[in-house]
Structure 1
Amino acid sequence: MAQYKTPGVYVVEKNAFPNSVVEVATAVPAFIGYTEFSDNKGTSLAQKAWRITSMAEFNAYYGGPPQSKFSINPLPAADPKAPPVTGDFSITDSATKQRTEYELKAEGTSYILYYSMLLFFMNGGGPCYIVSVGHYGDDLDADKISAGIDTLLKEQEPTMVLVPDAVRLSAQDCTTVQTNALMHCGFKMRNRIALLDVYDGYKDRQDPAGDCVGAFREAVGTNFLDFGTAYYPWVNTSIVKEKDIDFTVITNLDVLTDLLKKELSPITDAANPTPAAKVKIDQLNAALAAITSDWTKSQDPATDKQTLNKTLLAVSSLYPQIILAIQKKLNLLPPAAGMAGLYTMVDNTRGVWKAPANISMNGVVSPTVAISNDEQEDLNVTTQGKSINAIRSFIGEGVLVWGARTLDGNSLDWRYVSVRRTMIMIEESLKQACKAYVFEPNTANTWVTIKSMARNFLTSVWKRGGLAGASPDDAFSVFVGLGETMTADDILEGLLKVSILVAVSRPAEFIEITFQQQMQKS
């Protein structure tokens, strides 16, 4: 109350309404991995969390795709009694009629953060954070990636943590990184979730090397599972285009030239080749000679490379097979980054309380493993409770996400990822709003203001479908006050306790329709 000492008229304004609660962002992923460079106009962005909103910004701050390299290697002849060996492509010798299988082996370190970012934005991704822990040419290091996760301790905005490059580590190092991500989300921050990829998730569960899902469940442990989610299997994407690949990705060009010559040997060895065949042979020989020579020193090497690649595609039927096989290998990606984009799209269109499932994935041709209903039973419901969400292909519908559970599948509280993310949004929004009342008098006026503010916010969430109930009183309850949530000692100690009960809406995961015959009535 102001002290009035001079006669006059004084105007006193009082706030009629409580502070409003600003809903925090719910879909801001943070990606940790390796990039071409990390620079912002001369300032290093290494081991720093940097916010971007588009792929153009990623290219500006972190560069382009890695320069992938592959070698062509013949597979050993299979035992006649064993199943046939299948490589990436094959060629039959015209003289001996013997068929030889070849595989394309990736050379050097494989980095997938760049392609994961493309998949993220293709599926509806928006603002996100990037933590570059190294550059192309560096060895993948679990300690560096874990340090990149710790960098996010200073950032409050991210709500998801993804480490795409972890699956390129050894199985043990991948486990270390993923468990660190779970601890970061569930123990240190508690305001974000980890989207994990199943190690070797492109393999079938009946693979002779072992069950990749079972190995993932054993490795991930039992701590903070309600703050993590995982998807299986990996997906074949259309991120990398055929035009993005040429003969320069092949390290042993001498093997390539020998194979292409062997392919056209029937035409070359013919007694009287046709004029068209002669032109084809001349074009191939000229192209192969240019490839094996130092063509990079020409006046316009980029154009020459493009011309040579087009010539090989036109005169050879084997070369396009090799390019297609390389394209398929580069397009094999873990699905977590695409799921982060779908989370963003669902949050923006339906709300964070809508389960991110029964939606199609963009830029995905097919899952690497076809899953049936029976096979999904163990993925979705298991005695250990470590639910793995399936990505399945349905006739006429495309590739759909067919699961919406956290890794804590046996918990009735935190079984669904939409419930966990909704609670994170409500908790963080009210937490930020209540900061305005720190050091305010711990009296009934403050209690009523906070209660009114919380009720208004929760009513808004209920109206949009985030909370279940026929009325706001059925959907939530807010308690605060002396004798209700606090004792006299609490007030003396400076504690203001607010208790909120919410009924978060849950997805209809199992829909049961009962049919029964009835007697004829007419």
Structure 2
Amino acid sequence: MKSSNSEPSGTYIQEVNAFPNSAVAVPTAVPAFIGYTPQAIYEEKSYTNIPVRITSFSDFQTFFCLPDTPSPASPTKQYSPEYYLVQQNSQPTKGDSILIGESYYSIVPDPNTIYYLYNSVKLFYENGGGDAYIVSVGSYGPPSKKPMAPGTPIVNPNVQLNDLLSGLALLLNEPEPTMYICPESTLLSIENNATLMQSMLLQSTNMQTAMCVFDVIGGNDPDPILYTEDISNFRMNTGSIGLNYGMAYYPFIGTTTMQIQDIDYTNLFGGDTKQLGSIINPASAPNPNVAKIIANIQNPESGFTVSQNNNALIIASPIYSQIIKQVLSIANILPPSGAMAGVITTTDNQVGPWQAPANISIIGAASLPICISENQQANLNVDAVSGKSINAIRLFNGLGILVWGSRTLDGNSQDWRYIPVRRTMIFIEQSCKLAAQAYVFQPNDKNTWEAVKTMIGSFLISIWKQGGLQGASPSDAFSVECGLGSTMTAEDILNGFMNITVKVAVVHPAEFIVLTFQQQMAIPS
């Protein structure tokens, strides 16, 4: 007699997973830019102090740029630095200058109007950038309406240390960024810049997910001889914590990011055309055409746009055209961190994080404010006192401007002196950490241990096949251990710990290539 609660006879299906869990490679080139933007509003919601993930420069414009004015009005300027021409008694020995007639004029900015983030993001995408985070800590502050002293470092009072530190802290909740970039840190005082850099390195050390890309104060206008003081100041101010999570590049780069239409008479003398007119239409050599154009500018009812008046001035006055070109060249000198984020993204996409982002040209780089020689670079590579390395950007005849260095700040470390080593380890660590989360709360037994070893081993084999690990065979390239007696004790298991040990042989770049030549005697045939 069949029990009433027994299961009916029939066919049963039991599904068994054919494939074990696999480790998924985490993104390796996702910079987080911290700084000031034209605005931070989208659909009437403020995005100030909110990390925003973007995938293109169009996304950046949507969230952080001012809306364009309708035609035929002149296009909206997203960034509008202001410059002054200050007459000098003789040719200036410091800073930028221009000769007009028989007089020298220093070209100096209103420091309150200088910002770098907008153009740095443009450089990032020009050099192959992709996904990124933007942390806008505010919009541009008011101009001071006066020039700074010629030849002095640019310090923008509108750029506040607390703003940038707050923006940095917001990234504690964002594990995806792999680079921290703050181009406007060079607009802080030396002391405040030191505090920011050390905070960035400390956060990177604690997070273990991102490296910091630094620029060097003074790299925009280095003295041919005394530039070493800027290098020394930078090295002293980075501290001693987390140096293997930092990389620095020197000097700034002269770019083509801003175009001729981005600079006009509104960028000169705070828009005061009277001061401009005294230079391009002096009483000693009057130019009737220039006088008429300036009158149109000063008459809002003339009906001419800024672009039309500016183009007319360029045609009518060779002096004005010369001024605009030189001011544009100065405004285009930018910190290299944004461009380097793009270069790193490109190398990662083409090869992987184990490829050194060096011996590569920077798209949009047209000049350098200082040309570093091989001997000078040797002092940047390794400092006998601090051991902190700085990567040079150099000009090579026939090759152009190249990134010529791939070292972290930890130049004395045999383990962590190279950027691709540090970045490859971050990549492997985070990928394996994410994959291991699938086994949280699984039985801490041999079956689970073997599954974990197989999963991580398969992932590392794929990295080895791509050239990310060195060794003639997988066993030479890595090892994965997990189990009682090897990585865990009975007490570990009782306390709920599953310990995994992964050893990898990371590829190191061939930084120095040594060629040995020896004469051989002629051998009779």
- The number of aligned residues is 490
What is the CA-CA distance between 1:210 and the residue it aligns to? 6.4
Which residue in 2 is equivalent to 1:232? Answer: 250
The correspondence for 2:295, drawn from 283, 289, 292, is 289
Which residue in 2 is equivalent to 1:117? Answer: 121
| C-alpha contact 2:296 2:304 (8 A) present in aligned 1 | no
What is the CA-CA distance between 1:110 and the residue it aligns to? 1.4
Query: What are the within-5 Å matches in structure 2 for residues 328-347 of structure 1?
Result: 328-347=329-348
Which residue in 1 is equivalent to 2:72? Answer: none
| C-alpha contact 1:87 1:101 (8 A) present in aligned 2 | no
| C-alpha contact 1:86 1:101 (8 A) present in aligned 2 | no
Q: C-alpha distance in 2, partners of 1:347/1:114?
A: 24
SS of residue paired to 1:496:
coil
Deviates further, 206-215 or 510-519: 206-215
| Residues 321, 521 of structure 1: alpha-carbon distance in 2 compared, 3 angstrom cutoff | same
| C-alpha contact 1:198 1:230 (8 A) present in aligned 2 | yes
AA of the residue aligned to 1:192: A
Which residue in 1 is equivalent to 2:159? Answer: 140
Query: What are the within-5 Å matches in structure 2 for residues 312-331 of structure 1?
Result: 312-331=313-332
Residue 168 (structure 2) pairs with residue 149 (structure 1): yes
Residue 91 (structure 2) pairs with residue 73 (structure 1): no
The correspondence for 1:249, drawn from 267, 272, 278, is 267
The correspondence for 2:200, drawn from 176, 181, 187, is 181
Q: Structure 2: where are the runs of 5+ without partners?
A: 67-77, 143-157
The correspondence for 1:130, drawn from 127, 134, 137, is 134
SS of residue paired to 1:407:
coil
Q: C-alpha distance in 1, partners of 2:188/2:337?
A: 16
| C-alpha contact 2:204 2:211 (8 A) present in aligned 1 | yes
Q: C-alpha distance in 1, partners of 2:247/2:228?
A: 22
| C-alpha contact 1:109 1:140 (8 A) present in aligned 2 | no
Q: C-alpha distance in 1, partners of 2:94/2:33?
A: 38
Q: C-alpha distance in 2, partners of 1:437/1:4?
A: 35
SS of residue paired to 1:134:
coil
Deviations 1:18-66 (A, max 9, x none): 2011100000000000011111211111101001111111111101522
SS of residue paired to 1:180:
helix
Which residue in 1 is equivalent to 2:147? Answer: none
Q: C-alpha distance in 2, partners of 1:123/1:18?
A: 38
Which residue in 2 is equivalent to 1:275? Answer: none
Q: C-alpha distance in 1, partners of 2:281/2:503?
A: 74
> What is the alpha-carbon root mean square deviation over aligned residues?
1.9
Q: C-alpha distance in 2, partners of 1:372/1:359?
A: 17
The correspondence for 2:97, drawn from 69, 80, 88, is 88
What is the CA-CA distance between 1:283 and the residue it aligns to? 1.9
AA of the residue aligned to 1:127: D
| Residues 87, 52 of structure 1: alpha-carbon distance in 2 compared, 3 angstrom cutoff | closer
Which residue in 2 is equivalent to 1:276? Answer: none
Which residue in 2 is equivalent to 1:401? Answer: 403
What is the CA-CA distance between 1:155 and the residue it aligns to? 0.8
Deviates further, 248-257 or 206-215: 206-215
Deviations 1:192-232 (A, max 9, x none): 10001111112436555861111100111111000000000
Q: Structure 1: where are the runs of 5+ without partners?
A: 93-98, 269-280
AA of the residue aligned to 1:345: T
SS of residue paired to 1:231:
strand
| Residues 18, 125 of structure 1: alpha-carbon distance in 2 compared, 3 angstrom cutoff | same
Which residue in 2 is equivalent to 1:221? Answer: 239
| Residues 507, 87 of structure 1: alpha-carbon distance in 2 compared, 3 angstrom cutoff | closer
Q: C-alpha distance in 1, partners of 2:17/2:293?
A: 80
TM-score, structure 2 normalization: 0.90
Q: C-alpha distance in 2, partners of 1:328/1:209?
A: 21
| Residues 60, 378 of structure 1: alpha-carbon distance in 2 compared, 3 angstrom cutoff | same
Residue 95 (structure 2) pairs with residue 100 (structure 1): no
SS of residue paired to 1:135:
coil
| Residues 90, 517 of structure 1: alpha-carbon distance in 2 compared, 3 angstrom cutoff | same
Residue 482 (structure 2) pairs with residue 480 (structure 1): yes
